[in-house]
């Protein structure tokens, strides 16, 4: 049975919650130029520590995904496009000033146009790609490692939450919308590869934005059922990717709690009538919250907490392994809402340190 370096062993006394200090963006203060909360993940973790749920030692810590692992979900040319302009096709041997005999290290000093476009951060162009790889993209590779590890823990214990992850605008060959790597796609591939009992996977995407990355990757894969409920009037408006959605629910700007939660309950019932998954990946973006300038919806803090509870209750009642990733939503108060939602799942006993009652432990996915 194949395994993965990213499937590290996690002590049974630890919560199935994955976090690394490497998740947060801190680049010599330049991150303050971007409107997003660059320390969202640390704030979630600190919220759970303050509540007495987590400590520095009772959660899972991911490894950084390397290129070999990323190639399971990405094309080589796309990964090269994140490195330097020549490999991205913007430069040729004739139209740049770098000597043709330059080595890889020298080429990594050129500017990062593709990364700038994906992360929507113009200041990226001020920083040589070598530093972008080390201080920016490496952060996202830790998120990928966390989502992959969450897949293993969910198969062993019933559930797992990656405090990061949810890069749902990235497909195998294209990034966008602050998403340079396809962690959702890679997690699904790895679970299907390493756990023979996983034949069918349901992706529940409740971020405010359409999950066009995983939709493109699984467009023709009948083993993947995608339920995506999103504001259809905002980014990305990817009509081609919409063909990959099994159950779409298009929302409007200004959608409130009552409308959102009623539609969610109705669609969850429909989804599980139509499909019986062996694994669920839940993309739980908080950009649906009122006040988020990118989601343009009006869901209250309590609405977000209720949303997550509804999804976990469906998984728990059926004992279907579920991974939750936190995805979009970078208002300052989003971290506390995510933390409170996790605490609510604990208080409702939908997540516990021990494996779910009557949950069958997997025999596959050996640790490396």
Who's near 223: CB < 8 A, 6+ residues apart? 192, 199, 200, 201
Specify whether 169 is catalytic: yes
DSSP 243: T
> Who contacts 324 (Cβ-Cβ below 8 Å, separation ≥6)?
150, 159, 160, 161, 162, 282, 284, 308, 311, 312
Q: Could you say which of 169, 209, 214, 361 is catalytic?
A: 169
Candidates 216, 207, 368, 218; CA nearest to 295 is 207
Four-CA torsion 333, 337, 340, 344, nearest 10 degrees: 170
Judge whether 283 and 184 are in contact, CB under 8 Å: yes
Buried b (16+ CB within 10 A) or exposed e, 149-176: bbbbbbbbbbbbbbbbbbbbbbbbebbb
- Nearest C-alpha neighbor of 224 from the set 240, 200, 192: 200
Q: What is the DSSP letter of 32?
A: G
The secondary structure of residue 89, as a DSSP letter, is: T
What are the φ and ψ backbone dihedral angles of 3, each rounded to 5 degrees? -140, -165
SS3 letters for 104-124? Answer: HHHHCCCCCHHHHHHHCCHHH
Catalytic residues: 169
């Amino acid at each position: 049975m194949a395994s993965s370096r990213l499937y590290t062993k996690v002590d049974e006394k630890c919560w199935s919650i994955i976090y690394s200090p490497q998740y947060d963006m801190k680049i010599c203060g330049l991150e303050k130029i971007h409107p997003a909360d660059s320390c969202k993940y640390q704030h979630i973790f600190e919220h759970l520590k303050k509540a007495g749920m987590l400590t520095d030692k009772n959660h899972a810590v991911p490894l950084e995904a390397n290129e070999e692992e990323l190639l399971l979900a990405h094309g080589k040319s796309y990964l090269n496009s994140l490195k330097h302009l020549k490999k991205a096709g913007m430069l040729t041997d004739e139209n740049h000033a770098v000597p043709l005999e330059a080595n890889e290290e020298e080429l990594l000093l050129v500017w990062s146009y593709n990364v700038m476009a994906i992360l929507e951060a113009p200041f990226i162009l001020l920083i040589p790609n070598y530093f972008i790889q080390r201080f920016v993209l490496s952060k996202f590779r830790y998120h990928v490692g966390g989502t992959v590890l969450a897949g293993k823990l969910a198969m062993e214990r019933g559930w797992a939450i990656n405090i990061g992850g949810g890069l749902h605008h990235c497909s195998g060959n294209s990034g966008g919308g602050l998403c340079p790597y396809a962690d959702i796609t890679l997690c699904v591939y790895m679970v299907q590869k390493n756990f023979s009992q996983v034949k069918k996977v349901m992706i529940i995407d409740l971020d405010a934005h359409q999950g066009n990355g995983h939709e493109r990757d699984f467009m023709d894969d009948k083993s993947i059922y995608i339920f995506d409920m999103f504001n259809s009037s905002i980014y990305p408006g990817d009509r081609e990717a919409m063909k990959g959605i099994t159950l779409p629910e298009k929302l409007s700007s200004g959608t409130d709690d009552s409308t959102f939660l009623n539609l969610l309950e109705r669609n969850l019932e429909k989804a599980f009538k139509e499909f019986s998954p062996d694994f669920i990946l839940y993309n739980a973006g908080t950009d649906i919250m009122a006040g988020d300038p990118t989601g343009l919806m009006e869901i209250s803090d309590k609405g977000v907490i209720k949303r997550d509870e509804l999804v976990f209750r469906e998984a728990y009642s059926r004992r279907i392994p579920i991974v939750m990733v936190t995805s979009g939503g970078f208002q300052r108060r989003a971290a506390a809402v995510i933390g409170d939602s996790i605490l609510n799942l604990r208080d409702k006993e939908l997540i516990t340190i021990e494996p779910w009652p009557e949950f069958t432990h997997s025999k596959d996915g050996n640790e490396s």
